[in-house]
Amino acid sequence: MFKILLKSGPAEYRESVLPSRVRARVAVEAGTSLGGREYAGLDGRIIARREFGASAPHEDLLKQFGFTSEHIAAEARALLEK
């Protein structure tokens, strides 16, 4: 939904949400990383699934694929320290 709003909305809206001057961005997508670079930028990080077919309780899968608040915060801190 967020991607649709950014793509279909006016450029001013996109700039207000993702200012071009901000280069330290982390994109989190539980689906595919495809298209994430558009939002994270060339200097940003993308946390996304890169493989398919995993089967386990969702809590285990979220941890396995790095979708925890601890991992996302660590990625953001590392990006800011760059």
Domains and CATH numbers, the chain: 21-81 (3.40.50.920)
Q: Model-level pTM? A: 0.75
Tokens of 35: 């298209």
- Spatial distance between the Cα atoms of 13 and 55, rounded to a whole number of angstroms: 39
Contact 24, 79 (CB under 8 A): yes
Q: pLDDT (tens digit, 9 = 90+) per residue, 21-63?
A: 999 999 998 877 777 888 888 899 999 887 777 889 989 988 9
